[in-house]
């Protein structure tokens, strides 16, 4: 990773993964979450191929950590908070609970988010995984069948 463009791609990938995870955790806008998660996984995969063995270089790791620390996630409000304010979920474009298509989209989103997490881990960047991505991966793997 020798160019500023590569660093910009990483920042974008982290943002996509974080926002996709946030939407997934908030329980709404499943289609947008899936698209963001897929984009993150694609960009991170491309970067992993570009980096190759240099991903574990101390200089590269320092640069990547600086990028991750600069990124501040935008807060996302859960669906139940919107419902308490009287906003209809269907009017906002959110899927209704129990819809088969929604469940399939959520499963695909979780798979993309896990792929993004594993790609970051393979690049030696597990320390800079956004918190919401880590939480979404935990929720979709550890807690999925216990809730």
Position 88 in a domain: no
| Domains in the chain, number | 1
Average pLDDT over residues 35-63: 82
Position 91 in a domain: no
Closest CA to 117 of 3, 28, 37: 37
Q: How does the average pLDDT of the chain come out, rounded?
A: 76
Identify the weakest region by mean pLDDT among 25-29, 56-60, 62-66, 118-122.
62-66
Average pLDDT over residues 16-27: 92
Position 87 in a domain: no
pTM over 0.75: no
The answer to whether 45 and 118 have CB atoms below 8 angstroms apart is: no
Q: So what's the pLDDT on residue 94?
A: 47
Is the pLDDT at 85 greater than 50? The verdict is no
Between these two residues, 112 and 97, which has the higher pLDDT value?
112
Q: What is the DSSP string of 40-98?
A: HHHHHHHHHHHHGGGGG-HHHHHHHHHHHHH--PPP---HHHHHHTT--TTTTTPPPTT
């Amino acid at each position: 990773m020798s160019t500023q463009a590569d660093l910009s791609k990483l920042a974008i990938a982290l943002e996509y993964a974080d926002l996709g995870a946030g939407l997934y955790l908030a329980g709404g806008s499943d289609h947008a979450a899936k698209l963001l998660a897929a984009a993150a996984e694609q960009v991170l995969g491309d970067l992993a191929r570009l980096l190759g063995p240099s991903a574990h270089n101390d200089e590269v790791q320092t640069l990547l950590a600086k990028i991750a620390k600069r990124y501040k996630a935008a807060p996302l409000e859960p669906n139940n908070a919107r419902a308490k304010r009287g906003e209809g979920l269907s009017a906002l474009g959110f899927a209704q609970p129990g819809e088969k298509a929604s469940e399939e989209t959520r499963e695909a989103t979780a798979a993309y988010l896990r792929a993004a997490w594993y790609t970051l881990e393979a690049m030696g960047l597990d320390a800079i995984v956004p918190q919401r991505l880590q939480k979404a991966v935990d929720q979709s793997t550890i807690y999925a069948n216990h809730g």
